[in-house]
Amino acid sequence: MSEIDSAWKALPITAVGALYVNGIQRFVRENLIVFFGAGTGFAVSESLGWREFGLGAGLVLLTGLLIALIYHRRFRYQVDDDSLRVRKGLFEQQELKVRFERVQNVGFSQPIYLRPLGLVRVTLETPGASQTEVNLPGIPSSEAAALRDMISGVAARQTEPEELSEFESETANRPQAAFSASAADLFKYGMTSNQIWILLAVFGAPASNWVESSLSNWVDQLSASGLVDTEMLSGAPVLLALFVGLLILSVSLLLMAVSGLLAIVRFSGYRLIRETDRFKSRFGLLDVREKSLTLEKLHGIESVQTAVGRVLGQWHVIGHQTGAVRPEQAMNNDRRFLIPGIDGKRLESVLSTLRGRQWDAPAWNAIHPRFRSMLCSRVSVMLVAAALLVWLLLPGHLFWPPLAIVGLNLLILGMIHLHWRRWAYAFDGRRIRIRSGLFGQKILEFDMAGCQQVEVSTSPYQRRHNLASLTIRLPHGEQQVPYLPQAMADKIANVLLYRAESSVEYGL
């Protein structure tokens, strides 16, 4: 590639702005709690005014600028034929080297403030116990495209000049998208995604405080005005419950709408493009991102349908790569290769695009009913014993606490049944898919050759009934199939091992 010469290079001077904004953003994000505290402090304290606030903010902004300048001054990168080296560090120098063959995902991101500068932020992800990544905070977009092609091995072939400018210009002749999501699809994705729970967690507590205080004010005013008899209001519990229910419903609808709008902003114009040996996805309104995923690094395809998604027939698909995702990141993980807003009709076509071929998945095999009866009986024995104990030990032999426990028990039994019914597996000797979930569902599909480790385990109960549980460890995490017939568990384990050992002779 002639665009990239192999010398140590500094980032363009315009990238200081990017570093600056990025650094401030990160500072704010990482110290969100401190900022909330400070904000409350300002609001409460009399002696602290706007002048102090301005001074503080100015100090932070100036320090940030200084850090960005030093960072830029010390940041160097070098692109070789087969690797990228980065030298950086504010106080101590750090040198990283990434071999291109280890890179499994090249991410581009162009936030709105980088667009006029023609710069792109590049992230290279490599597999590890927890994924590691190397960042180039802002390099010219042509160089970024060249780098991406080098990594994907496309550099060896002739690259058309259009492709380099493709990232900058929206109107350049686009390759055919394998999947694209409309704003309506994305809105539905946002509504159904679990993001709503995060929103609820962030805004729920302050919002409920506000609602409570304004409600009590309102009730006070009402009673003071004497128009409504508040005694009558508190005497109508059904009305009150109805009111509260309505409130909860409207708040959830509002949150869903907000979540939908956020999804539109985040994934705006989502397009999935299949190239010879990789996938690319482009999306974003304010922050235009491009992610690429090398075909051979993709080893698991997960189709997810949340509980609300099942009602609306909405799916999203996640492409899994090597490297365990820590659970605390899993919720809103940026590193996953996510395809949002797929309706039921288009799911199969997206899946076969990712898979690279059609697959007539064999019929689901259910988990043995003994799994359900075992769980049910254990939970029931424990909870009924607890109910009895409560009844015996509580003074006055009250009957409602044990009754409540029994009610809870019934609820749990229902959930166990749902969980058992959802859990299923299907395999045909090359691929396997496993479905699980409670109200929602997710289906993980993978090539059997990708398995890392197989474990067959049995409890005394299982041995009595000739059953076994199977744990399949994959590069991104483990999958369990409980309570299979022993012969079936052995058969799947044997085929998994055969595939893993014969198809790919070298590790991932």
Partner 1 sequence: MNPHEETGFSNHSVAPEDVPDYRDAEFESLAPTFRRYTLVSTLIFALPVTVAALVAWALPFIPLAGWKIMLIIVALLIPLVLVGIYRWVDAGYRGWALRQHDIIARSGVFWRSITVLPVARIQHVETTHGPLERAHGLARLKLYTAGGLTADLIVIGLDRHAADQLREYLVEKIRKRDAEGSRMCDE
Note the residues at the interface with partner 1 (CB under 8 A).
101, 127, 129-130, 322-324, 429, 451-460, 463, 473-478, 490-491, 493-495, 497-498, 500-508
Report in angstroms how near the CB of residue 80 gets to partner 1 at its nearest. Answer: 17
Nearer to partner 1 by C-beta: 243 or 498?
498
> How far, in Å, are 10, 26, 120, 139 from residue 115 at the CA level?
20, 20, 8, 12
Count the Cβ atoms, other than its own, within 10 Å of residue 425: 22
Report in angstroms how near the CB of residue 234 gets to partner 1 at its nearest. Answer: 54
Report in angstroms how near the CB of residue 451 gets to partner 1 at its nearest. Answer: 8
Is the distance from CB of 83 to CB of 100 less than 8 angstroms? yes
Nearer to partner 1 by C-beta: 233 or 500?
500
Report in angstroms how near the CB of residue 275 gets to partner 1 at its nearest. Answer: 20
> How far, in Å, are 77, 84, 156 from residue 7 at the CA level?
8, 11, 20
b/e for 226-242, b at 16 or more Cβ within 10 A? eeeeeeeeeeeeeeeee
Separation of alpha carbons 422 and 417, rounded Å: 9
Nearer to partner 1 by C-beta: 30 or 82?
82
Report in angstroms how near the CB of residue 123 gets to partner 1 at its nearest. Answer: 20
Q: Is 117 exposed, middle or buried (0-12, 13-18, 19+ CB in 10 A)?
A: middle
Separation of alpha carbons 191 and 478, rounded Å: 29
- Max CA distance (Å), the chain: 87
> How far, in Å, are 4, 146, 154, 304 from residue 157 at the CA level?
16, 12, 6, 37
Structure tokens at 376: 């049910």
Separation of alpha carbons 492 and 432, rounded Å: 9
Report in angstroms how near the CB of residue 131 gets to partner 1 at its nearest. Answer: 10
Structure tokens at 285: 């309104």
Report in angstroms how near the CB of residue 504 gets to partner 1 at its nearest. Answer: 6
Nearer to partner 1 by C-beta: 280 or 320?
320
271-274 and 365-366: which strand pairing? Answer: unpaired
Nearer to partner 1 by C-beta: 305 or 479?
479
Report in angstroms how near the CB of residue 21 gets to partner 1 at its nearest. Answer: 34
Report in angstroms how near the CB of residue 129 gets to partner 1 at its nearest. Answer: 5
b/e for 396-408, b at 16 or more Cβ within 10 A? eeeeeebeebeee
Is the distance from CB of 316 to CB of 440 less than 8 angstroms? no
Separation of alpha carbons 457 and 328, rounded Å: 28
Report in angstroms how near the CB of residue 44 gets to partner 1 at its nearest. Answer: 45
Which among 305, 309, 283, 280 is positioned nearest to 295, based on CA atoms? 280
Report in angstroms how near the CB of residue 321 gets to partner 1 at its nearest. Answer: 11
Nearer to partner 1 by C-beta: 109 or 471?
471
Structure tokens at 334: 């940026």
Nearer to partner 1 by C-beta: 226 or 460?
460
Is the distance from CB of 116 to CB of 141 less than 8 angstroms? no
Strands (E), 100-235: 105-111, 119-126, 132-140, 179-180
